[in-house]
Amino acid sequence: MKILWISAKNFKCFNEIQLPTEGSFPKGLFFVEGGNSVGKSSLLDAIFYAFFYDPTSTKELGTKEDLIKRGKSETEVLVAFEIDNKYYLIQRKHSRKTSVQAYLMEIEKKAALEGKSKIIKKISEGVPDVETKINSLFNINRDKALNTIIVRQGSVQALAEAKGAELRDIIYELFQLEDYRDKAIEIVKGKKALLDKEKEKNDIDRTSENITSEITETKDRIVETKKEIKKLEGEINTVIISSSQFPAVKDLQDLNGLTQRIDTQNINIDRKTQKLQDLAGKNNLSYPFSENELVSKTKDFDKDMSELQKKQEEIRKAIEKIIKEKTGLERDFEIFTKRKKSLEGISIEKGEKALCEVCEREIDETKLEELLEQSRRNIPNLTKGIENKAKNRSKLESEIKQLMNKYQSKFRDKKELENLSDDLSELTEMQNMKGKITKEMQDTLVAFKVTSLEELPTKYNLSSFEELFDHVQDLKRDLNTKEQEKKHQLNFVKEKHGHIDTLEKQIEENKKKEKEIERLDYELSLLQETQNYVEKFIAEDIISNRMLASIQQATSGYIFLFTRGKYSELYLQPTRTKTLHLSIKDEETGFVKSQNLLSGGDKAAIGLGLRIGISELLKRLRPLKNSPYKPPKMDILILDEPLGSLDEARRNKVIEGLVAEEKFSQIFLITHTNIRKRFRAPLISIQSSKTGSKAVFYPSPTEIEEEAEEE
């Protein structure tokens, strides 16, 4: 991987920067130099912001408002980089009022190398998606980068000062050892969970001893029930013998039904006879009826009805005459009323003239008064005449209504007489039916060798037919009850035999489940041993025997160089409490020192050696031979003031080592120390001004020296 160029607007102390102004950054080491508080760390923050910033989780840079230059409303950073021979541009920006926006794009190679951006395609958009894509491209996330290739100011000693458990956790995280262990344990736990579910399926709800006890109790109940069934059978036989001495319930029900039918016929005959007698009395006829009387009575009804109709017709004609007379009176009333109103409205004094209604000639005042007097006299008489006509009409209409009611009554009586033959036929039919039922009953009684229904119960020493019927029904109910009880007991025995079969099958199932649980417990114990072995294997074999040895070997050379040979070998030893103990060999004394005895300068040099050694080791080491571990592709170092705690001699040794380092594509070394005269390397010079800090990239040391001479 290689950073090609950086562009920023209104980021922290910078108004606008473009590094380099033309072309792209070279490979190897170059310095980021300037005085205190001029913005050297801000340049590192700009790179970190572009690649990894998320306002919800990135606390290293502060709030998003802290990143915008004072007096400005928004900021933007673009970083072009190359990885796996592809060229990318990452853009991140935000304002004081809007959220952070992130974009990752593929750009054209030629433009990228010239310090420009010609977009080929947009790869991802949005903070979460860009973060996922960057992590995939670099094979490294923000936290891992901060523990290795990015050394922020003041954190160079972090690894050298990390205590046992913390140091162990850092190494686990860097080499993804937690992933291996957790994945392996997850698989084991998953298998254990499946086996536990299998055990749940084979869970024994009831013990075989409990089931066997229930089988014994059930068998005892079956024996007792069979005894009850035998007793019931004896009682049933007794009831059957007793019932055989009496008539069957059906025969008694038939006799009772015949008796009720005879009673019903008697009631119907009495009602019909009474009706005919009432009809005879009503019409002054003798009962039973004679044909001549009926014919004569019908003729009388016809004569009466004819006379009633004739009277109605006479009254209707009288009503029509009254209606015509009343209409004439109403017409005269209307004429005199209009005349009176018209004549009373004429004023002779005012010169108004009255006209004759017939000839329309003018009439005098005397004639006018005569006509008015006539109208005034006739109007009351006409009113009284109209009222009398209305009363007479109402009286005649009432008489018609009375005549119609009498006619209807005569009509109904005539119909009764006409229907009399049907009633006589029904009465005869009822009497015949009674005779048939009576004969059927006599025949039935003969079968019981008695002559009457009253004699039948005495044959069985009972007082009445009802008592006989109740006794026979009681015997039948008793028999039915005992037979139902027997049926219930037989079903109970059958059910209990079935239950015993089920219980015996449960015992067999329990035996199978016990064998299966025994097998599952054995497999679970093996899996627990496997889980213990995995944890021990990760902790002891990989950490103790592989990783720690590799880390010690990779970092010892850097530590020896950075401490000018004072310290040679680094030791990382696991403890019984599953932590790591860091110590280092002091070549001057020959003793091995623990980290507690190291000075601040020692810790800075050792911490930097650990950082660089582990970063280099991450690129090439797999925890396991066939491990899916993917080494980081972000093979740059960004070092912010790592030399502050070192004396001049150690600083020179560290820089010598970084100049000669070829395992990283680029190393950005930020320092306020003037080192350009001793070490000839490209330089980013940062200076402050009234409008904001400015950054200039010098790819050649000669250019730097010439500029210094001009100053």
Q: How far apart are CA 124 and CA 106, in angstroms?
A: 10
Q: Are 409 and 339 in contact (CB under 8 A)?
A: no
Looking up tokens 């031979």 gives 625
Contacts of 10 (CB under 8 A, 6+ apart): 16, 68, 69, 72, 74, 75, 76
Q: Are 91 and 119 in contact (CB under 8 A)?
A: no
- Give me the pLDDT at residue 661, please: 79
Coil vs helix vs strand at 421: helix
Q: Is the pLDDT of residue 625 over 90?
A: no
Residue range 329-357, pLDDT digits in tens: 999 889 888 888 887 777 766 767 777 66
Class of domain 290-418: mainly alpha
Question: Region 684-711: what's the mean pLDDT?
Answer: 73
- Give me the pLDDT at residue 710, please: 46
From the options 1.20.1630.10, 3.30.460.10, 3.20.20.140, 3.40.50.300, give the CATH code of 1-149+635-711. 3.40.50.300
Question: Region 472-499: what's the mean pLDDT?
Answer: 92
Residue range 550-597, pLDDT digits in tens: 778 878 888 888 888 888 888 877 776 667 788 888 888 888 888 788
Q: Are 524 and 178 in contact (CB under 8 A)?
A: no
DSSP 577-595: TS-EEEEEEETTT-PEEEG
DSSP 564: T
Looking up tokens 């009253």 gives 454
Q: Are 566 and 587 in contact (CB under 8 A)?
A: yes
- Give me the pLDDT at residue 371, please: 80
Single-letter residue type at 566 = K
For the ranges 357-361, 520-524, 603-607, the lowest mean pLDDT is seen at 357-361
Contacts of 522 (CB under 8 A, 6+ apart): none
- Output 109-114 pairs: Cβ under 8 A, ≥24 positions apart: 112/4, 112/5, 112/24, 112/80, 112/82, 112/87, 113/4, 113/23, 113/24, 114/22, 114/23, 114/24
What is the longest distance spanned by two Cα atoms in the chain? Answer: 172
Pairing assessment for the beta strands 354-355 and 362-363 based on DSSP bridges: antiparallel
CA distances to 28, 32, 649 from 680, rounded to whole Å, are 12, 13, 17
Residue range 124-146, pLDDT digits in tens: 999 999 999 998 898 888 888 88
Residue range 227-243, pLDDT digits in tens: 999 999 999 999 999 88
Report the mean per-residue pLDDT for the chain.
84
- Give me the pLDDT at residue 278, please: 86
pLDDT range class, residue 436, cuts 50, 70, 90: very high
- Give me the pLDDT at residue 539, please: 54
Cα–chain center distance at 684: 61
- Give me the pLDDT at residue 711, please: 46
Same fold, 1-149+635-711 and 290-418: no
Q: Is the pLDDT of residue 424 over 80?
A: yes
- Give me the pLDDT at residue 72, please: 93
Q: How far apart are CA 291 and CA 285, in angstroms?
A: 11
Q: Is the pLDDT of residue 175 over 90?
A: no
Q: Is the pLDDT of residue 546 over 70?
A: no
pTM of the complete model: 0.51
Q: Is the pLDDT of residue 487 over 50?
A: yes
Single-letter residue type at 17 = I
For the ranges 208-217, 328-337, 654-663, 681-690, the lowest mean pLDDT is seen at 654-663
Domain spans in the chain, listed from the N-terminal domain onward: 1-149+635-711, 290-418
Q: Are 691 and 600 in contact (CB under 8 A)?
A: no
- Give me the pLDDT at residue 359, please: 64
Record the tokens describing residue 328, joined without a space. 């004439």
Q: Rounded to 5, what percent of the chain is helix, strand, coil?
A: 60, 15, 25
